[in-house]
Amino acid sequence: MAPASTSAYENVRAAIADKGSDARVEVNQRALIDKILARYASAGAVYRELLQNSNDAEATTAEIIISTSKENSTPLHNTASSSASININTSKETVTQVIYRNNGHPFRPQDWARLRKIAEGNPDETKVGAFGVGAYTMFSICEEPLVVSGKRGEEEAMAFFWKGDGLWTKTGKAPPGIVNISATLSNEKDENNWTSFILPSRDPYPLPDLVEFGQFLTAALTFTQCLANIKVYVNQTLQLDINKTILESYTIATPKASSWWKNDGALISSSTGMFVLGKGSDLTQTSVQMTVSLRKDVSNPDSAMETSTVRARYASAMVKTKIPPDVEKRIIRVTKKNPPKELTVQIFLDAANHDEDDESLTIKRNTKFNLNKLANIGTKQSMASKITDSFSPTPGSGRIFIGFRTSQTTGFGVHLAAPLMPTVEREAIDFVDPALREFNSSLLEVAGILMRLALEHEMNRIGMLWEENAEERKQWEISREEEKRKQKEKDESNTKSGGNAAAASSGAKDTDNDNDSIAGSLFGFASYMARGFKSTVVEAIKTVPEILGEDDETTELLNPRDDRPLSMEERDAIVLMKAFCARPSTPDDLVGQYLAKGFSRCLPSQTPPVLTMDGVVRGKDARLCHHGLEAFGVPNVVRRVVHENAKEYHSMVAGCPRLNINDLIMSLREQVLEEAMLIRFLKWWPKFCRIDNGVERFGIRLKEAVRYQTNSENASPKKQTEKVEEPEVVQVNRLESILYYTDRKFPDGLPLPETTFSPSLQKRIGQRTLENNFYRDWWSVLPFEIWTSFIVYHSCMTKGLYPENTIRRMSIVAISKHFDSLERKGRYLELLAPIKDSPFLPCDTDGTDSNTTTALKCPSELYLASSDLSAFEGCGDFHKVAKSLTKEGVSEEFLLAMGVRKTISMDFLFGHLDTLKWNENPKPLINYLLNADLSRQDLLKLRSTCYLPAENDRSSLYAPSDLYLKNDELKIFPFVKFLQWNSSEGMPSAHREFLIKLGLRVDPPLSSIMTFMERESSKTAEARDHETHGAALRYLTSRLGPSGLYESDFKHYRHFKFLPCIRQDLETGEVVNEMQSPSACYYNPSCLVMGFSVLDPTLDQIQIANRTKCEKDPPTQILLKRLMQLV
């Protein structure tokens, strides 16, 4: 059973169908047209629609003929009039009539029929018109328009007129020559078939400003396929002439696998599959030139025309459609025509100024470009150039063109023309209807793919040109360096002459992650288009010096001067990349998001290309300048000026990371720095660390990576006869091998170890730089001990070469002064040990200085210059240290420490005793030695050598330790030999002490005395010399006791039998004499009765017993034992 509502509907319709009356729905046409016109909010809508119709009619030329009067009428500021005006002119001229005409196909019958109908659009699916209301924008400025069209001489006319609120037309053949105004425009040979729209002003309005009107008309020609020329006449005088000329057209290659895009080919279809880009010739790029001529003075017909030219590039693609049937059905219902089977998508890439009177017209691509001109800074623009300048959109301000420009932006500096489904007034894209939203979003996505392909193609072209012109850039760099060198020489010359020469002006922690997903970066760019962008102004070069508070050198080190003018390739790249500096699209941000989606999907695994100083590379492989890192040859660095002019492109679109320390380290490992670059590097590093403390930890790795070569300062000049030049051998040094630098106290001109900066290089680097705290782990001041360890093995100290005389003497002076400054000198003397036996000291020979004789000796072969050797004249040749060394500061203390002698050599002395006649009388010898400055070795030799005579013994000579000072008490000892000393006055105390120091004996050793006494005691009483033995016993006991000479050692000889004793034989009662040891005898006479030995009572028993530790009575145990024996 059918629902009740359906039944009621059918019943009612059936009832009124039988008995009801018919009446046609009426339309208030005036109100309808006014309301339609109210939807056209943009200025110049009437001209936009007329130009669109002209292009659809395949017209090549359109003319706008404006008639004015000087009547001071007050214009009505209503919606209709605003649709025609761009901006009022400051003159008092008012527009009374406009004739718009084009030379396209004349109206056909069906065209005249559609013109009479509202809302019946052009059924041709290749045409833009869809709603059939555009032509009625004529009513915005004219009450009753007149249209004339047809072949020349056969023109037909249609007049619109009102009857109340109803709009009527009348059509008929136009009178001959009525609207052919070519003759009045000085074009009598005109044979075009014109379609004219004659629009008398409903309310006279001010003449539009021709500059802004020209900007509007120029924009209207952006994507026209046929229309290429627009002329504007004011009162039959040509005021504005705009021409678009195609220069060249070529195919865009779609990136494929194994191409320069590397990993994989490009995706060329929308994500829905509704649209697919064509291939081969379907993708083209076209270069066009827009020429604008504008009369300087509107009021003066005889004033000159000024001309400006701009060039632009377009990319276009034929897009094949595959629309699902359900979507196609819904589109037909809304638009009343079939969607196209294929369509064309175009993008406007860029525009660059090339005025005819500008030199750049005749300059080829390798000519340098001035960035100030690119930005139009400080130049006075002509009115014509203001029109051409508007042709290129600024970043983010590109427009969507649906036939002609809409108010919708693309978010890029790129215009887009595509047959998108618009709203009625064609000012916005329809995203409301579901079917149109799906159609439009997919088409925008394909347009984004085309943008990416065009970008890749253009950057590839720029890269090839960059490589072709590499040699020219190199020559420019060479010329610049030569100019710098000449300027430096000039400044130095002025400085020396006292002139006032002008001085030649010559980060935060790194968080970049190079391993981030490329696809993630690109699709992050798409989401960025959705969330928006906040524009900021950054003065990068200015901030760093303000932070550091230092001089211009700091600024230049952290922001290297790059004064090379922009090449044409760089200029083209800047313009191109600026076009892709994205902003959120307005008023609908969905447009920018869909474009960015297609842009990102095209090559999802590859970041967009950028132009670096080494050519075009992928964004992920490029590096952005960062606090001076770019100055050290890191590959693929984007020039600062290029980056500053397209920041958003490099950061958000291409995803270029900025330079970091790892990049620098890898680059330094692959190159060898020139000396100038090494100096710059060392001055730069501390300043960089101050603004980025996190990088200090990379210091050692950075030092290990640096290799450099120094300038050859002492290269010997080649002979003129040499015909073949030998290749110069370049020595490559490693910075990691440099451990030291010299401070200001270190003497100049001395050889230095390889681990130390050369003086010339150190001077150019600067002492303050090397002493910077950030280099504390890199090197330190050269310790003098390290330098000494080096110099002792240097050829100047070991080989004695004549050319090194000066260096040798300077080194000796430096070593001496350092030696004198030390408190503890022993360790330093150990470092000098390798040269003690080397002939490095200059000496005086024959009264001359070694500077001329170059005589060198070992220290041990030389004597001090101050030594008095007159006593040894005739005994041989003696060499003294050069007196000039003393004058230069070499101390005698140092020379003596090195082994130089102040006195005669002992070997020489001992070898010439006979010559000197000192072998029989040592007194002169001792006198000399007493006054000589003897070394330790001399004293050792004097102690061990036999050179002294003994008294009453001429058979041989003795060492000092073998002889004794003359002492009558010692005559009793036969083993004592006295020093021969011929003097009636005895020996002076000084001589005595010196001889004792050499080892001459005063008292015999206890061992010798005890051995002598024991030997004498062992003799029989008859053979023994009792007098000598007694004298020896008295000599011994006198030196025993608490302060005795032999007291401490005597305990070892108490078992020696040397004391005269008596003992009573208990069996016979006879008293016998014998020798006993101090431990075996007693001094109590009562001990005789028990058979014990008792000291000889003839001796001083008490003194001898006390000194020799002899007991008075035997111990109790011994007595009991003896008693038991007796019992």
| Cβ atoms within 10 Å, residue 1102 | 12
Is 631 in a helix, a strand, or coil? helix
pLDDT top residue among 137 and 961: 961
Q: How many CB atoms lie within 10 A of CB 932?
A: 17
Tell whether the model's pLDDT for residue 258 goes beyond 50.
no
C-beta atoms surrounding 749 within 10 Å: 10
Alpha-carbon span 1039 to 1008, nearest angstrom: 14
- What type of residue sits at position 969? E
What separation, in Å, do the N-terminal and C-terminal C-alpha atoms of the chain show?
169
- 576-609 tens-digit pLDDT: 888 888 888 988 999 999 999 999 888 888 899 9
Residue 204 has pLDDT above 70, yes or no: yes
Q: What confidence category does residue 668 fall into, taking pLDDT thresholds of 50, 70 and 90?
A: very high
3-state helix, strand, coil in the chain (%, to 5): 40, 20, 40
Kindly state the tokens that stand for 836. Answer: 């003690």
Give Cα 896 to chain centroid, integer Å: 54
C-alpha 572/C-alpha 645 separation (Å) is 12
- How many angstroms separate the CA atoms of 314 and 284, rounded? 8
Chain-centroid distance, C-alpha 1094: 105
What is residue 236's predicted lDDT score, i.e. its pLDDT? Answer: 87
Mean pLDDT is lowest, of 261-275, 368-382, 1024-1038, for 368-382
Scored b (16 or more CB within 10 A) or e, 326-337 reads ebbebbeeebeb
Residue 902 pLDDT:
82
CB 842 within 8 A of CB 882: yes
Distances (CA, A) of 513 to 510, 518, 660: 9, 11, 10
> pLDDT value at position 678?
95
Q: Which of 63-77, 422-436, 672-686, 832-846 is modeled with the greatest confidence?
A: 672-686
Residue found by looking up tokens 């627009």 in the block: 230
| Token output for 831 | 């470092």
pLDDT digits (tens, 9 = 90+) for 870-881: 777 767 778 889
Q: What is the mean pLDDT of the chain?
A: 81
Instruction: Give backbone dihedrals phi and psi of 249, rounded to 5 degrees, phi first.
Output: -145, 135
SS (H, E, C) 30-67: HHHHHHHHHCCCCCCHHHHHHHHHHHHCCCCEEEEEEE
With left for phi above 0 and alpha for psi between -120 and 50, is residue 857 left, alpha or beta? beta
Range from 274-288, 377-391, 977-991 carrying the lowest mean pLDDT: 377-391
Q: In angstroms, how far apart are the furthest CA atoms of the chain?
A: 199
For residue 67, give the nearest of 99, 101, 102 by alpha carbon: 99
Tell me the per-residue pLDDT of 91-131, one tens digit each, with 9 for 90 and over: 578 999 999 999 999 998 888 888 887 645 555 555 554 43
- Quick check: pTM over 0.75? no
| Predicted pLDDT at 139 | 84
* Beta strand extents in 225-341 (DSSP E only): 229-234, 237-251, 275-277, 283-295, 305-321
928, HSE (Cβ side, Cα atoms, 13 Å): 21
Cβ atoms 125, 340 nearer than 8 A = yes
The answer to whether 141 and 199 are in contact (CB under 8 A) is: yes
pLDDT band at 532 (very low <50, low <70, confident <90, very high): very low
pLDDT at 812 (0 to 100): 93
- The pLDDT value given to residue 501: 41
> Residue 587, preceding bond cis, omega within 30 degrees?
yes
Q: How many CB atoms lie within 10 A of CB 402?
A: 24
The pLDDT value recorded for residue 716 is 37
Query: 3-class SS at 1112?
Result: coil
Note whether 878 and 863 are within 8 A (CB): yes
> How many angstroms separate the CA atoms of 901 and 868, rounded?
11
Q: 784: pLDDT confidence band, cut at 50, 70 and 90?
A: very high
C-alpha span between 1022 and 684 (Å, rounded): 106
**DSSP secondary structure letters along 277-301:** E--GGGEEEEEEEEEEEEES-TT-T
Residue 62 CA from chain centroid, whole number: 59
Sign of the CA dihedral with 639 first, then 642, 648, and 649 last: negative
What is the per-residue pLDDT for 506? 37
What is the SS3 assignment for 150? coil
The answer to which of 294-303, 846-855, 928-937 has the lowest mean pLDDT is: 846-855
SS (H, E, C) 710-729: CCCCCCCCCCCCCCCCCCCC
How far is Cα 891 from Cα 819, in angstroms, rounded to an integer? 9
Neighbours of 373 (CB within 10 A): 16
The pairing of strands 283-295 and 275-277 is unpaired
Tell me if 168 sits within 8 A of 161, measured CB to CB: yes
Cα–Cα distances (Å) from 746 to 585, 795, 816, in that order, read 69, 20, 13
Per-residue pLDDT, averaged over 641-667, amounts to 92
Indicate whether 243 pLDDT > 90: yes
Q: What is the DSSP string of 572-622?
A: HHHHHHHHT-----SS-HHHHHHHHHHHHHHSTTSPPEEEETTEEEEGGG-
What residues does 195 pair with on adjacent strands?
Answer: 102
Q: Which of 310, 236, 233 has its CA nearest to residue 62? A: 233
Please report which confidence band the pLDDT of residue 75 belongs to, taking 50, 70 and 90 as the band edges. Answer: very low
The pLDDT of residue 517 is 41
Question: How do 637-638 and 623-624 pair as beta strands?
Answer: parallel
Alpha-carbon span 178 to 194, nearest angstrom: 12
Both tokens assigned to 464: 């090839």
Q: Is the pLDDT of residue 574 over 80?
A: yes
Q: Is the pLDDT of residue 50 over 50?
A: yes
CB atoms within 10 A of CB 34: 16
pLDDT beyond 90 at 1004: yes
Supply the Cα-derived Rg of the chain in whole angstroms. 59
pLDDT band at 743 (very low <50, low <70, confident <90, very high): very high
Q: What percent of the chain has pLDDT over 90?
A: 30
Place 890 in a pLDDT band, splitting at 50, 70 and 90. Answer: very high
Structure tokens at 361: 């017209």
Angle in degrees, CA 1042, 1045, 1048, rounded to 5: 65
475 burial (CB, 10 Å; 0-12 / 13-18 / 19+) is: exposed
Q: Could you report the per-residue pLDDT of 438-451, keeping only the tens digit for each? A: 999 999 999 999 88
Q: How far apart are CA 340 and CA 337, in angstroms?
A: 9
- Cα 1090-1094-1097 angle, rounded to 5 deg: 130
